[in-house]
Amino acid sequence: MEYKKYTTSFYVDLLKKGEYFTYGKFGDGELIAIFKYLKWDKKYNINFGNHNIDRHLYYDDLGESLHNTFIHEKGYFKGCPNHWWSNDKPISRLFRDYVKEYNINPPNLHDTDTSFYKDAPIGNLGDLKNQLEKMNYIVVGDSKKRNLPIKYTDFIEIPSVNAWLKKDDIKEQILTMVEKYESPVFGLSAGMGTLSMQDDLYSFIGDKCWTISFGSIWDPYIGIKTRTYHKQYKTNKI
């Protein structure tokens, strides 16, 4: 697998030029959901538990849907950390086995360690924030995300836990917003099902808007620090 190491400015430039893209991120939670669907937790005798750190459950159909985003590749941007190839954590070893067994090779795999996740902890997302505020930026997240220090055009509120169960409603609201606003930018923080929802929508709206999975990078700016990498945040400034 070949990683493309783009900085945040790469995505900002695409927004400025009006070049639509879908950016779907996957991390530990998404992989665990896939591995539990494949029954690899039993195969390798690893206890992943029943939910992630935010208490979103690892539903079987969630794992299946995420798995299918890799088996039936559509070519949009996917982001994950490059260090999965080098560290010796169980999740990283399983990822490498998964790639080999299923011949996973996304054509547009981006290293998350060189873009948003690198810049957020040091308050270096100002250019991204300024560009989003010039556009029809629509936040897709739970009610706490309404307090983001970013000017947004509209908001799609999702459940704070197990948003996957409302996936059809969330996708329907996104489709409605595409019709309502010209060239909207959807910033998604919708849990482990985000990538699957983006994948489902890509064929319908991939050439009409941007969908960007921001995950939990905004959380520390609204006083929430649940991820290990959140300890790296040195400022409250975006």
Compute the mean pLDDT over every residue in the chain, rounded to the nearest whole number: 95
pLDDT digits (tens, 9 = 90+) for 99-130: 999 999 899 999 998 999 899 999 999 999 99
The pLDDT of residue 161? 96
> What is the model's pLDDT at position 148?
95
Look at residues 73, 80, 62 and name the one whose alpha carbon lies nearest to residue 196. 62
pLDDT band for position 237 (cuts 50, 70, 90)? confident
Kindly report the three-state secondary structure assignment for every residue of the chain.
CCEECCCHHHHHHHHHHCCCCEEEECCHHHHHHHHHHCCHHHHCCCCCCCECCCCCECCHHHHHHHHHHHHCCCCCEEEECHHHHCCCCHHHHHHHHHHHHCCCCCCCEEEHHHCHHHHHHHCCCHHHHHHHHCCEEEEEECHHHHHCCCCCCEEEECCCCCHHHHHHHHHHHHHHHHHHCCCEEEEECCHHHHHHHHHHHHHHHCCCCEEEECCCCCHHHHCCCCCHHHHHCCCCCC
Residue 83's pLDDT is what?
Answer: 84
Q: Residue 138 and residue 177: Cα distance in Å, rounded?
A: 8
> Residue 38: which domain range?
3-217
Q: Is 235 inside a domain boundary?
A: no
Residue 139 lies in a domain: yes
Is 48 part of any domain?
yes
Residue 89 confidence (pLDDT) above 90 = no
Residue 157 included in any domain? yes
In a domain, 41, yes or no: yes
Residue 226 within a domain: no
Q: What is the pLDDT of residue 109?
A: 95
Q: What pTM, to 2 d.p., does this model score?
A: 0.96
Within a domain: residue 225? no
Residues whose CB is less than 8 angstroms from the CB of residue 151 and which lie 6 or more positions away in sequence, other chains included: 133, 137
**End-to-end CA, the chain:** 32
8 Å CB contact between 210 and 15: yes
User: What pLDDT band is residue 86 in, cutting at 50, 70 and 90?
Assistant: confident
Q: Is residue 230 part of a domain?
A: no
pLDDT band at 219 (very low <50, low <70, confident <90, very high): very high
Look at 231 and 66; give whichever has higher pLDDT: 66
What is the number of domains present in the chain? 1
State the Cα–Cα distance between residues 28 and 91, nearest whole angstrom.
Answer: 7
State mean pLDDT over 139-161: 97
State residue 130's pLDDT score.
98
Distance CA 175, CA 177 (A): 5
| pLDDT tens per residue, range 174-214 | 999 999 999 999 999 999 999 999 999 999 999 999 999 99
